[in-house]
């Protein structure tokens, strides 16, 4: 790594990943590490940021790591809990707040000529979320800014590059948050902002070249953004030694297998399309339970992939499109494991291809960064902007058992909906969209005939990471048109409904 790095110490705040993303938006590479596993090589980092936390500094089991190796030795910024802990650790006092401050607040006293707050205007809106307050500043502390309810909203420790803010600079509602982060990192800590998508591509390609040499690598393409960008990076590094496999499980969108395969071939990838639809449909026959379906699909995918990987002679590596949120070690505020709502990850035995060495070129990137890296390699905009699509595909959007006829109906319905979103310029405003085939028939009338046919639900959500989501307020005119088109064009459907549930308490998929 030839770039300056920033260490983000995570105390379990829901916003920690946002801090990392904001820092990276400044073209500065940042890494998240849990408070109880702070790397021993702090000298490798140019600056350190302490995150917020759901904890109280005053509680018995609060997170109190030793900061001796960091404070006063490295430029250090404490955010929310980070600011409180810094005060607590350095001779200040934290107490329960009389007025809890959640949400909007304004900075109403700002220290002049202070590089940390350069460009931040009087009254600047900041976002608060805390119930404790810093009652007295640490030894050598100097007040830098206040809000109406919080006197010590920003402070520094004199003689050191140590700063602290009670508010969250990482959320968009903090108007000058990014400016403050930039002041701290670039002006105060002298971090070089040179971590750009182009630099990432050229360095990653060089690293992959020296790591892989003349070795062969196999990679499963899914049609999604991550696997496609990972393939492109590897293709640039090792060309024909990258063997891509794109499996048709028969549960993709209409025409997707052929169109995506053509697109991959157009990108110059060495890709083999494997049509295993029949094998998947056989395995799904008679299954209606969502988890059973997922398991069957996972099992068959592994079998098919294993068969294909065996046909590549002397392959030694398996490439995966793993991204940063999959590998960040998270701090659990409760200490307990979270309940499994859906088994998103395929389960099964350990087939031969899984014994290969693993290469994960996107392991350091967030999803939006993967897209930017793809764009800097001039990959197709439509491919990079594609909505997420679940691995088990339409199988979990056909409630109940799956037949070839039901798949056909849903593919048609889905195509009308998605094409409609595109032609009404709504596709890019929606995070994910699709249709669900319900296991009920309803009575209708077409011409003079009574019909008794399927009901479909349409779902369109906005989200940033799929963890929470809200339904999209699509124009009535659009819904009216799509509903008419579906009922007129798709044989077997006589009713369309629109899903207006948020997640939580619902989930994005119905199964
Ligand atoms: P839920 O339904 O849990 O979905 O709100 C959140 C996101 O995950 C996707 N999803 C899956 N992805 N295998 C996948 O690869 C699965 O079994 C699976 N189930 C849900 C869903 O499409 C949404 O983007």
Residue 497's DSSP bridge partners are 457
pLDDT digits (tens, 9 = 90+) for 449-493: 999 999 999 999 999 888 889 999 999 999 999 999 999 999 999
Instruction: Confirm if 397 and 435 have CB atoms less than 8 A apart.
Output: yes
Instruction: Confirm if 67 and 114 have CB atoms less than 8 A apart.
Output: no
The atom number, within ligand 1, closest to the CA of 510 reads 2
459 lines ligand 1 (CB under 6 A): no
166 lines ligand 1 (CB under 6 A): no
C-alpha–C-alpha distance, residues 207 and 362, integer Å: 12
Q: Is the pLDDT of residue 290 over 90?
A: yes
pLDDT band for 335, please (50, 70, 90 cuts).
Answer: very low
Which of 338, 503, 509, 511 for a ligand 1 pocket mutation test, highest count of atoms within 8 Å of Cβ?
Answer: 509
Return mean pLDDT, the chain: 93
Which of 298, 390, 505 for a ligand 1 pocket mutation test, highest count of atoms within 8 Å of Cβ?
Answer: 390
The number of angstroms, rounded, from the C-alpha of 374 to the middle of its chain's C-alpha atoms is 16
Q: Is the pLDDT of residue 349 over 60?
A: no
Residue 259, both tokens = 């169109």
344 lines ligand 1 (CB under 6 A): yes
**For ligand 1, atom 14: residue with the closest CA:** 390
Q: Which of 207, 233, 237, 231 is nearest to 219 (CA)?
A: 231
Instruction: Confirm if 254 and 281 have CB atoms less than 8 A apart.
Output: no
pLDDT digits (tens, 9 = 90+) for 56-102: 999 988 899 999 999 999 999 999 999 999 999 999 999 998 777 78
The pLDDT of residue 492 = 96
What's the predicted TM-score (pTM) here?
0.89
| Bridging pattern class, strands 216-221 and 242-248 | parallel
Q: What are the E-state strand segments in 109-251? A: 109-110, 125-136, 141-146, 154-157, 162-165, 216-221, 242-248
pLDDT digits (tens, 9 = 90+) for 404-440: 999 999 999 999 999 999 999 999 999 999 999 999 9
Ligand 1 centroid to Cα of residue 345, in Å, is 10
CA–CA distances in Å: residue 177 to residues 87, 160, 207: 21, 22, 34
What single string gives the DSSP state of each residue in 440-454? Answer: EEEEEEETTEEEEEE
C-alpha–C-alpha distance, residues 294 and 314, integer Å: 31
pLDDT band for 174, please (50, 70, 90 cuts).
Answer: very high
pLDDT digits (tens, 9 = 90+) for 439-449: 999 999 988 89
φ/ψ of 442, rounded to 5, equals: -135, 160
The pLDDT of residue 293 = 97
Ligand 1 centroid to Cα of residue 61, in Å, is 35
Give the whole-number percent of the chain exceeding pLDDT 70. Answer: 96
Q: At what angle do helices 404-423 and 476-489 cross, to 10 degrees?
A: 140
Ligand 1 centroid to Cα of residue 190, in Å, is 41
Q: Which of 307, 322, 249, 327 is nearest to 282 (CA)?
A: 249
C-alpha–C-alpha distance, residues 178 and 159, integer Å: 24
Residue 311: its H or E element? none
Q: Is 244 a catalytic residue?
A: no
């Amino acid at each position: 790594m030839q770039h300056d790095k920033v260490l983000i110490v995570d105390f379990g705040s829901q916003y920690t990943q946002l801090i990392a993303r904001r820092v990276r938006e400044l073209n500065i590479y940042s890494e998240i590490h849990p408070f109880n596993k702070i790397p021993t090589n702090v000298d490798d980092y140019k600056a350190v940021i302490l995150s917020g936390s759901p904890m109280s500094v005053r509680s018995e089991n609060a997170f109190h790591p030793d900061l001796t190796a960091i404070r006063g030795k490295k430029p250090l910024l404490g955010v929310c809990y980070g600011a409180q802990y810094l005060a607590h650790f350095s001779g200040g006092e934290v107490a329960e707040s009389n007025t809890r401050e959640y949400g909007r607040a304004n900075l109403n006293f700002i220290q002049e000529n202070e590089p940390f707050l350069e460009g931040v205007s009087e009254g600047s809106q900041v976002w608060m979320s805390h119930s404790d307050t810093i009652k007295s500043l640490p030894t050598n502390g100097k007040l830098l800014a206040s809000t109406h309810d919080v006197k010590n909203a920003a402070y520094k420790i004199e003689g050191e590059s140590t700063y602290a803010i009670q508010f969250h600079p990482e959320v968009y509602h903090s108007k000058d948050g990014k400016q403050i982060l930039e002041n701290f990192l670039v002006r105060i800590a002298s971090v070089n902002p040179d971590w750009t998508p182009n630099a990432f591509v050229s360095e990653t390609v060089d690293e992959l070249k020296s790591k892989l040499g003349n070795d062969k690598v196999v990679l499963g393409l899914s049609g999604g953004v991550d696997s496609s960008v990972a393939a492109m990076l590897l293709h640039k590094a090792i060309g024909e030694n990258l063997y891509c496999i794109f499996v048709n499980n028969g549960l993709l969108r209409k025409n997707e297998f052929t169109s995506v395969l053509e697109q991959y071939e157009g990108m110059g990838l060495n890709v083999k399309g494997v049509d295993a639809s029949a094998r998947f449909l056989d395995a799904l026959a008679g299954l209606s339970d969502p988890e059973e379906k997922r398991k069957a699909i996972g099992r068959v995918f592994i079998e098919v992939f294993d068969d294909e990987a065996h046909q590549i002679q002397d392959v030694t590596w398996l490439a995966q499109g793993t991204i940063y949120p999959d590998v960040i070690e998270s701090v659990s505020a409760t200490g307990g494991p979270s309940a499994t709502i859906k088994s998103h990850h395929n389960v099964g035995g350990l087939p031969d291809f899984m014994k290969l060495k693993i290469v994960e070129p996107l392991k350091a990137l967030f999803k939006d960064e993967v897209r930017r890296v793809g764009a800097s390699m001039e990959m197709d905009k439509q491919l990079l902007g594609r909505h997420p699509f679940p691995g088990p595909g339409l199988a979990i959007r056909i409630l109940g058992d799956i037949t070839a006829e039901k798949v056909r109906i849903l593919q048609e319905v889905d195509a009308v909906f998605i094409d409609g979103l595109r032609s009404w310029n709504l596709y890019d405003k929606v995070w994910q969209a699709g249709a669900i085939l319900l296991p009920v028939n309803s009575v209708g009338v077409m011409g003079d005939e009574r019909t008794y046919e399927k009901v479909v639900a349409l779902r369109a959500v906005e989200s940033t990471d799929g963890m929470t989501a809200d339904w999209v307020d699509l124009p009535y005119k659009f819904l009216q048109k799509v509903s008419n088109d579906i009922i007129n064009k798709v044989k077997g459907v006589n009713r369309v409904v629109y899903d207006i549930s948020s997640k939580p308490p619902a989930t994005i998929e119905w199964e």
